[in-house]
Amino acid sequence: MKYLEKKLRRLPRDAMASLQTHTVLRWSVFSLPLIFLALFYFYPLIKIVLLSFFPEGSWQPGKLGKLVASPVYIRILWFTIWQAALSTVLTLLFALPGAYIFARYSFLGKNLLQAAMTVPFVLPTVVVAAAFRALLGDNGLVNDWLVELFSLSAPPIRLDQTVYFFLLAHIFYNYSLIVRIVSSYWAGLDPNLRSAARMLGASPWQTFRRITLPLLMPAISSAALLVFIFCFTSFGVVLILGGPGYATIEVEIYRQAVQMFNLPMAAALSLIQIAINFLLMWVYARLDRKSKSSLFSESVAGSTVRPATPFDRFMVIANVVFMVLLLISPLLALVLRSFSGEDGMTLTYYSALFTTGSQSVFFVEPIKAVANSVGFGFGAMVLAVSLGVMASSFLASDRGGKAYDVRFQGLRGSSTTVWDALIMLPLATSAVTLGFGYIITLNAPPLNFRDSLALVPIAHALVAFPFVVRCILPQLRQIPHSLREAASMLGASPSQVFLQVDLPIIRRAILVGAVFAFSISMGEFGASAFVTRPHTPTMPVAIFRFLGQPGEMNYGQAMAMSTILMVVTCSGFWLIARLDRSGSALR
């Protein structure tokens, strides 16, 4: 490496053409994500905001008066911020040890556990609330068991409609986010550093605190940012489990737009929501810029060991037990419920799903709902991953116009910070606002997507691609530039450099991004506010339909459909993970 560096320093600048030096190339790579964002995010957003503020062409500040006059909005804003922050911290606390065992150890059932752990992400909130109540509610399994065991007079665990309940749900939803992103990055860290530290006498804790943790910061902060934004824009979870007293900004936006028909207020709140998140992301991007880059591990595949020492075993067992308790048991409660009829175990609900009971013109066999969900899921995933890879390449290759320097990694231009933050905005924007924006913009050819099927994967991809960027970018930035330089010097064109150097290294991160893009689509994040073509329902839509009418059969079928959703998603994850097995050139 040292020899190469010396050699490279002496070479003239234009001897090497690569993404890093070729401005035109950089921007053309970014063009597709940029157009996508402009068409499907900025254009509708700006139009709906303008329409809201100037309905008949005139500015009407009267409706906004309450915003500054009433303390209510400050309180809502404050609540939204602190619950998101607390949720993030708690999730980090529990998920980092989990990330550790996934990064370091291989054990029986690891892949299955990893797939099952991500399933909560796709479940509709009403269903998750039902599962949690079935377990931890006042009349849930745990309380019943405790009352019986200790002959208590009243259920000891009272979580319903409290802050703790929805915090728990947030951890449930976001645990796998942190585990997947951080563990994939962790596995790629150079183990030699750790060994060197230990050899020099550092205790395991010291090694962790002073070597590993700083090196992990890019991935940890990336994942934490995502968790924060998700919790910030939370709608159903907080309301159903915490109770209607806990309204986030997202809820208020919906209220203002739909209930009060006060579009200026809704738009103003949306802008505030966006502004806060933009600020956060900008600060994050600036801090990230200053972080030291870690030394790159030569073994891309990462090395996992079987747990050997008592410490190893303790870590694995403790974390697996925790995951099973928190993440798997609510899912099992759901599955169990789908098989429990009036007289014990039954398949009635499943068979009901497959018979044309309803005769409704909207009735679609569950197989079709599965097919629709999976079809949209893969479509959105491919779109999100492609856009994400392109955008990440652009963001990672910014040299900031500084003089050529092998150690450039510390110097990134501030324009990247802004683009980085801008790309994340779709995640932080209210679905209601965006949905209304689509109504007034995508209404004429060539953009008449407003009631077309294509809007579904597009809307999903819009939310998913910033996600993919967050997964890939830390790892992409880790690649030493000298590696790319070496390839160029040996005659590789920029695209070859990318395909042969960058892509194999970030392959694992791409898969993490793909998994989440798929699950965002399966879980219908945000797109449910938009117009749907009801003849192509997806599984969450079908579940909602069942939960809209009284009756055992409806509830049972909702649980059965939820179970099918869980199984399909799990299989989808497994399939995607299989892509990792093939084409592993560097093993």
Partner 1 sequence: MNGVIRKLAQRLIVVSLALLMPGVSQAGQALTLMTHDSFNVSKEVIAEFEKTNGVTVRFLKSGDAGAALVQAILSKNNPMADLFFGVDNTFFSRAIGADIFEPYDSPMLAAIPDQLQLDSENRLLPVDYGDVCLNYDKAWFATKGLAPPTDLADLVKPEYKGLTVVQNPATSSPGMAFLLATIGKFGEGKYLEYWKQLRDNEVLVAQGWSDAYFGHFTAASKGDRPVVVSYATSPPAAVYYAETKPEEAPTAAVVSDDNAFRQIEFVGILKGSENRELARKFVDFMLSTPFQEDIPLQMFVYPANSEAALPEIFVQHSQIADKPVQVDPAAIEANREKWLEEWTNVMLR
Q: Which of 153, 309, 355, 359 binds partner 1 (CB under 8 A)?
A: 359
Structure tokens at 520: 């965002």
Binding residues for partner 1, rule CB under 8 A, total 84
Cα angle 545, 551, 555 (rounded to 5 degrees) comes to: 55
For 189, the 3-state DSSP assignment is strand
365-384 residues near partner 1, rule: CB under 8 A: 378-379, 382-383
SS3 state at 505 = helix
Question: Phi and psi (nearest 5°) for 305?
Answer: -120, 160
Q: Between 431-441 and 263-290, two packed helices, what is the crossing angle to 10 degrees?
A: 110
Residue 490 CA from chain centroid, whole number: 38
Cβ closest to partner 1, residue 365 vs residue 552:
552
Among 130, 131, 267, 565, binds partner 1 (CB under 8 A): 130
Instruction: Tell me which residue of 387, 407, 403, 383 sits closest to 395, measured CA to CA.
Output: 387
> Dihedral of CA 250/252/253/257: which sign?
positive
Q: Which residues pair with 305 in a beta bridge?
A: 105
CB of 126 or CB of 418, closer to partner 1: 126
Identify whether the C-beta of residue 303 lies closer than 8 Å to the C-beta of residue 79. no
550 binds partner 1 (CB under 8 A): yes
Interaction residues for partner 1, span 207-266 (CB under 8 A):
236, 239-240, 243-245, 251, 254-255, 257-262
Nearer to partner 1, 95 or 238 (CB): 238
* Cα gap 228→140, rounded to integer Å: 29
State the nearest-atom distance from the C-beta of 533 to partner 1, in Å: 7
Please identify, using beta-carbon distances, which residue of 315 and 383 lies nearer to partner 1: 383
Provide the mask over 292-331, with x wherever binding to partner 1 is found by CB under 8 A and - wherever it is not: ----------------------------------------
Among 142, 422, 439, 577, binds partner 1 (CB under 8 A): 439
Neighbours of 306 (CB within 10 A): 11
Quick one: which of 440, 567, 571, 574 contacts partner 1 (CB under 8 A)?
440
Rule CB under 8 A: choose which of 34, 547, 565, 566 binds partner 1.
547
Compute the least distance from the CB of residue 13 to partner 1, in Å: 29
Q: How far is the CB of 171 from partner 1 (least distance, A)?
A: 20
Dihedral over alpha carbons 220, 221, 226, 231 (to 10 degrees): 100
From the list 98, 137, 264, 474, which residue makes contact with partner 1 (rule: CB under 8 A)? 137
**Subset of residues 480 to 509 that bind partner 1, contact rule: CB under 8 A:** 499, 503-504, 507
To the nearest whole angstrom, how small is the minimum distance from the Cβ of residue 574 to partner 1? 16
Using rule CB under 8 A, residue 471 touches partner 1 = no
- Distance in Å, CB of 339 to partner 1, minimum: 13
d(CA 99, CA 103): 6
By CB under 8 A, is residue 6 in contact with partner 1?
no
In 10 A of CB 432, how many CB atoms?
23
